């Protein structure tokens, strides 16, 4: 039996989501059509989010206005910047409540195998922000790409005279920051080492 083309299109769209395979896409697709209110809510929330949320022009965090709440907060320590791969990492660190500095989102990591070099990640934006900054904490996941990116950044930043540190080992290799439990992140920040 062939499913209606519109349903196939919905399943194909769902399959683009991270962690959603064919089977999950089918389950969600049927569910949304059978529970129309859930479907409507989802559709509306997504539309509104896409229309109104963007990236902070300073740090790259998700924000409703031009500048995010963290960058515009007077109570944040502006002498420390924590460098992360994605806005999701910011959420993971913010949940711990241990960090009160600013952030910078790279957007990607250096990965020669995927053809991603230093020019493909937001380093220029970071370099423009280092005036008056005392410490830059590299909170990038331990992996081949993460290590390459950290080493590259440490090199340039040290040349600019900024103190660079890195989250303590203890984060499992290859682990995503956003999936790491808060206590492990707290320890990794507390025991960060200078590069």
* Number of other CB atoms surrounding residue 111 within 10 Å: 17
Residue among 60, 158, 54 at smallest CA distance from 107: 60
What track of x and - describes contact with Zn ion for positions 22 through 61 (by CB under 5 A)? ----------------------------------x-xx-x
CB of 188 to Zn ion, least distance (A): 22
**Binding piece for Zn ion, criterion CB under 5 A, among 66-74, 128-136, 144-152, 153-161:** 66-74
In the list 71, 123, 164, 177, the residue contacting Zn ion (rule: CB under 5 A) is 71
Q: Which is nearer to Zn ion, 61 or 150 (CB)?
A: 61
- Any bridge partners for residue 82, and if so which? 103, 137
Q: Which is nearer to Zn ion, 88 or 195 (CB)?
A: 88
What track of x and - describes contact with Zn ion for positions 86 through 125 (by CB under 5 A)? ----------------------------------------
Q: Quote the distance between the C-alpha of residue 182 and its chain's center.
A: 16
Please report the sign of the dihedral spanned by the C-alpha atoms of residue 28, residue 33, residue 35, residue 39: positive
Q: Which is nearer to Zn ion, 68 or 80 (CB)?
A: 68
Question: What φ, ψ does residue 191 adopt, rounded to 5°?
Answer: -95, 25
Q: In whole angstroms, what is the distance from residue 81 CA to residue 134 CA?
A: 9
User: DSSP state, 116?
Assistant: B
| Helix locations, 3-116, DSSP H | 5-15, 22-34, 36-52, 69-72, 87-96
Q: Which is nearer to Zn ion, 32 or 59 (CB)?
A: 59
Q: How would you classify the pairing of strands 163-166 and 193-194?
A: antiparallel
- Compute how many residues bind Zn ion; rule: CB under 5 A: 6
Q: In whole angstroms, what is the distance from residue 182 CA to residue 165 CA?
A: 19
Q: Confirm or reject binding of residue 68 to Zn ion (CB under 5 A).
A: yes
Looking up tokens 């509306």 gives: 44
**Binding piece for Zn ion, criterion CB under 5 A, among 65-73, 77-85, 106-114, 148-156:** 65-73
Q: Which is nearer to Zn ion, 56 or 177 (CB)?
A: 56
Residue ranges binding Zn ion (CB under 5 A): 56, 58-59, 61, 68, 71
């Amino acid at each position: 039996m062939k499913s209606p083309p519109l349903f196939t299109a919905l399943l194909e769209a769902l399959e683009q989501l991270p962690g959603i395979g064919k089977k999950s896409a089918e389950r969600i697709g049927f569910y949304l059509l059978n529970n129309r209110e859930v479907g409507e809510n989802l559709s509306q929330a997504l539309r509104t989010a896409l229309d109104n949320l963007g990236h902070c022009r300073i740090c790259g965090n998700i924000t409703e206005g031009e500048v995010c709440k963290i960058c515009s907060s007077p109570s944040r320590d502006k002498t420390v910047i924590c460098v992360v791969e994605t806005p999701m990492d910011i959420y993971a660190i913010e949940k711990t409540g241990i960090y009160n500095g600013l952030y910078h989102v790279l957007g990607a990591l250096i990965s020669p195998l995927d053809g991603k070099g230093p020019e493909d990640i937001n380093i220029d934006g970071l370099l423009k922000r280092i005036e008056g900054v005392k410490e830059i904490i590299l909170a990038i996941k331990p992996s081949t790409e993460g290590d390459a990116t950290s080493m590259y950044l440490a090199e340039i930043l040290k040349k600019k005279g900024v103190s660079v540190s890195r989250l303590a080992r203890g984060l499992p290799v290859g682990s995503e920051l956003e999936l790491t439990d808060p206590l492990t992140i707290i320890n990794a920040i507390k025991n960060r080492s200078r590069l």
